[in-house]
Amino acid sequence: MKRNVLRASLVKQRVAQAPIQKSTGELNKDALWRLEHLENQMAKFSELVLEHAEDVDRLVRIVAEDRDVIRRQLLRKHQLQVRVRKYLRDTNT
């Protein structure tokens, strides 16, 4: 349906802008070429959007992994401090 609406819109625009000496066949060919060109552009745009989404997903995964590594390091450091405090407390009593 979108294709038909777009095609009709393009044909109307070209008919309104086109000189009178152009035949309807030439106008239809021009409109069809423009429609195909737009469809190709939309396909390329869709590919670019998909690639961008994949890149963003990859970056999110990398950041999440880095966060997890940092969280584990901080947890180990904290656990070591707790063990040291416990040991010192036990030795002082």
Q: Could you tell me the CA-to-CA distances from 25 to 9, 11, 20 in Å, in that order?
A: 16, 11, 13
Residue predicted with more confidence, 3 or 90:
90
**pLDDT digit string (tens) for 4-46?**
766 677 666 665 555 555 677 788 888 899 999 999 999 999 9
**CA-to-CA distance for 43 and 50, rounded, in angstroms?**
11
- What domain range is 31 assigned to? 2-92
Tell me the per-residue pLDDT of 52-61, one tens digit each, with 9 for 90 and over: 999 999 999 9
Give how many domains the chain has, as a whole number: 1
> Quick check: 31 and 7 in contact, CB under 8 A?
yes
The pTM of the whole model exceeds 0.75: no
| Alpha-carbon span 2 to 60, nearest angstrom | 35
